[in-house]
Structure 1
Amino acid sequence: MRNPFSKTYESQELQMFDFMQGIKFFERLRQKELARFLPAMHERKYNRDEVVFFSKDPSQALYLIRRGQIDLTIDVRDNFETIMQLKRGEAFGENSLLENAKRTYTALVTSDEAELIVIPHFAIQEIFDSNPKIKAKMMTSLAEYYNANNQRLFRSYRESFGFFSLRQMFE
């Protein structure tokens, strides 16, 4: 039986919760916790070849892809090398969950258009400050995300042994 005192949500909000829960960083959150993000979210449209942010920029927002494709690139000797292609239902700018972080890659729109949901860093930090459980759940997801990236990096290194030295990561 449904609790008569629990909040009911509009169908638009429920659709947004479903969308958000499909994204790694929100997968552990309940509807009540996801609802905390709704007032901070806004949609933004981008066109092909538009840069969402550059490497080394301050990490000012988390981006959720509603529609379109985004390439995450790194600058290697004046060339942009794609390290990952993202599409609907994926997020980027994940280091905006951390304080005082800078972007590690450039995010570029590669579809004709992209529709992104933007969640500003300051709003995320306000939610984290007032709700440590949300912060703990999202930081656990972030740690898992970074762990998976490290595993891919090390696998790639093993497969291309000799092209670079992992020791350089720690110098």
Structure 2
Amino acid sequence: MQNPFTKSYTESELQTFDFMRPIKFFEKLKNKELSRFLPAMHVRKYVKDEVVFFSKDPSQAIYLIKKGQVHLTIDVKDNFEMIMEINRGQAFGENSLLQNTKRIYTAIVSSDEAELIVIPHFAIQEIFESNPKIKAKVMTALAEYYNENNQRLFRSYRESFGFFSLRQMFE
């Protein structure tokens, strides 16, 4: 018998939780915790070559790809060099989970169209302020994500030794 005090969720909410849970930043959250994000989430549609955000823009939201593909690029002189392709069920703009950050890459829609779930920074911060456990779980996931990125960066550096100086990262 189900506990009468347990919140039940609609089919749509459960589908949203199933969509969110495989995403690194939300994987350790329970349905009750994920439900805190629902009121803040909205879907935005984009078309091919539309810029979601530019490098150096304020980090105002995290994006979850519901449909389509997005290329994350860095500006190298006057060109955009793709560093990663993000697909359905993945997130980008993760530094919006932190306070007072700017984008470190440009995000451009590469598929004919894309549907992105947008979670604004201010809403995330409100959730974090009122739910320290959610903040701890999401921040731990973010730290793990950045650690994995550092490992890939250092491995790439070792494999292409001589093209740039790692020391420049710390200057």
Structure 1 residue 78: deviation in Å? 1.1
3-state SS of 1:56 partner: coil
SS in 2 for 1:55: coil
TM-score, normalising length from structure 2? 0.99
- The SS at the match of 1:44 is strand
Cα root mean square deviation, aligned: 0.6
Structure 2, unaligned runs of 5 or more? none
Deviations 1:8-37 (A, max 9, x none): 000000000000101110001000000000
Counterpart for residue 32 of structure 1? 32
| 1:113 maps to amino acid | E
* Displacement after TM superposition at 1:77 (Å): 1.3
Q: Is there any run of 5+ residues in structure 1 with no aligned partner, and where?
A: none
Asked if residue 109 in structure 1 is aligned to residue 128 in structure 2, the reply is: no
Corresponding position of 1:16: 16
Aligned length: 171
Query: Within 1, Cα distance between the matches of 2:3 and 2:76?
Result: 56
Alpha-carbon distance, 1:132 to partner: 0.4
TM-score by length of 1: 0.99
Identity across matched positions, percent: 79
The 3-state SS of whatever aligns with 2:52 is strand
1-structure distance, mates of 2:55, 2:126: 25
Which 4+ stretches in 1 moved above 6 angstroms?
A: none
SS of residue in 2 equivalent to 1:141: helix
Q: CA shift at 1:107, angstroms?
A: 0.2
Q: Distance in 2 between matches of 1:2 and 1:118?
A: 33
